[in-house]
Amino acid sequence: MTQDPRPPVSDHPGVIAPPPLIFFGFLLLGWALDARVLHLTLPIDLTLPVRIGAVALILSGLALEMWAGGLFRKAGTNVVPWSPSTALVESGPYRFTRNPMYVGFTLVYLGLALGLKSPTALVLLIPCLVVMTWGVILREERYLAARFGQPYLDYKTRVRRWL
């Protein structure tokens, strides 16, 4: 963890919307289109192994989100992306991905889409991740580079954005 030695560059990175809302919005849109308009369903039965797989995705995603969020709280920095960052967290899952919370949201999304048997929701994950990248992550990266300078740029070269 690197503490911020400089005054704030701006109050926040200016993300377009709260990330959970983006994920939930795409999931809900896909499920609603399948249920009400397209009348599509995944060609799978919700057998015990499928349910276990869906629940495993959801639980692992939630666990990753909580672990990553807990490290932010422990470092004394804000979890929500519309508040100032006061510390750069590089430990735990942040050693492997710069966005473990968003990886967690993706796992939860996949588990819910599978459990809902929604092929459209699965397809909409791709534009969801594009929106997350362009509307949230790139903005956060510009903000963090301005806020933390070289320590963040070094971290960015060591750790991948997703996985």
Distance CA 58, CA 73 (A): 22
Q: What does pTM read for this prediction?
A: 0.90
Task: Give the lowest-confidence range in 40-49, 114-123, 151-160.
Answer: 40-49
pLDDT digits (tens, 9 = 90+) for 96-149: 999 999 999 999 999 999 999 999 999 999 999 999 999 999 999 999 999 999
Going from the C-alpha of 104 to that of each of 19, 29, 45, 65, 79, the distances in angstroms are: 11, 20, 25, 5, 14
